[in-house]
Amino acid sequence: MIKKILFSALLPSCIFLTTLLFPAAPAKAQALPVKATCVGPLTLQFSPGLGLLPKPTHLTGSGMVTCVFTEDLSTHTALVEDLEGTGDLSCLINADAPGSLRLDWDDTTSSVVNWNFLELGELGLPAVPRVFVLQGEIVSGKFEGSDMVLSYNDIPNLSYLKCLSGTLDKIEGIPTGTIIQPL
């Protein structure tokens, strides 16, 4: 009986010491399989203009991105066409606004992206980052089955008064985009 009590009391200590003396090998960091990184000017328009409170809003946009394909480090351009979505949007609080866009590549192929997540973050507050994020899946064409994330990290020339008055009807800037093969 004493052996059993001694064994059960010492076992946790032995396991603890073993893990200290012989830690597990560090796991290899698994990098996301990035297919392309992109940057380029984009214009987004909101109708009606955004204000402080969410309201049904139609989003449209267009632009052109330059992308580096990671498989061969080649550079390609794509026109951003038919960017369109609808949802309850504001400068501060947003619900998802599903939509789609098409990338027309310089090699005459295209990619159609359906997004399920759109976030406009703190657009009207001077002390916090102004962020726009669109995340979706490429459902056809080049990179089909991959995910795409498009984001502005700081939206330039944003008028805070437009948010207060409910007339923020356009965002222009140079976002970054990433096309990622899902794990």
25-42 pLDDT, tens digit per residue, is 444 445 558 999 999 999
pLDDT-derived band at 24, boundaries 50, 70, 90 = very low
Return the pLDDT at 152: 75
What pLDDT, in 10s, does the model give residues 53-106?
A: 889 999 999 999 999 999 999 999 999 999 999 988 887 777 678 999 999 999
Question: Which DSSP string corresponds to 126-138?
Answer: TTS--EEEEEEEE
| CA distances, 47 to each of 42, 53, 151, 179 (Å) | 17, 14, 20, 28
Lowest mean pLDDT among 7-16, 37-46, 117-126, 155-164: 7-16
pLDDT of residue 120: 66
Residue 17 pLDDT exceeds 50: no
| Cβ atoms within 10 Å, residue 75 | 10
Residue 26: predicted pLDDT: 43
Is pLDDT of 5 > 80?
no
Residue 3 pLDDT > 80, yes or no? no
pLDDT of residue 14: 36
pLDDT, position 129: 44
What's the pTM value of the predicted model, to 2 decimals? 0.75
Q: State which amino acid sits at residue 175.
A: P
Cβ atoms of 36 and 70 closer than 8 Å: yes
Q: Where is pLDDT greater, at 54 or 139?
A: 139
